[in-house]
Amino acid sequence: MSHNLLRSVELDRRGRGDRGTVPLIFQENWEPSPSAPLLEPTAPAYPELPPPSYDECYFGSSNIKDQGDTQYTFGSTQYVPRYPTYNM
């Protein structure tokens, strides 16, 4: 039993000036995809706020040194949480 698996295919290259490639998808007229309509804002924009300052936590700092830390552990072992605040 034998099969001949070769087949000739004629390619349509209308509108193509280049040679040697076959486009996977050829679309003459491209249009943007539809999207949701633009909505008007339902609330006013944020007011102009001054830049934030960062204040320490009410409870102050904590020592974050672990039992496994040695003399070779470097950096501050005091942790002070800071939170943004706005002075208006």
Q: Note the pLDDT tens digit of each residue in 11-70.
A: 666 655 556 666 666 666 677 778 888 888 888 888 887 888 999 888 888 888 888 888
Nearest Cα residue to 55 out of 79, 88, 82:
82
Identify whether 81 is part of a domain: yes
Identify whether 44 is part of a domain: no
Q: How many CA atoms lie within 13 A of 35 on its CB side?
A: 6
Are 59 and 76 contacting, i.e. CB atoms less than 8 angstroms apart? no
Number of domains observed in the structure of the chain:
1
Identify whether 75 is part of a domain: yes
Identify whether 77 is part of a domain: yes
Identify whether 60 is part of a domain: yes
- Residue 44 has a pLDDT of 83
- Residue 53 has a pLDDT of 92
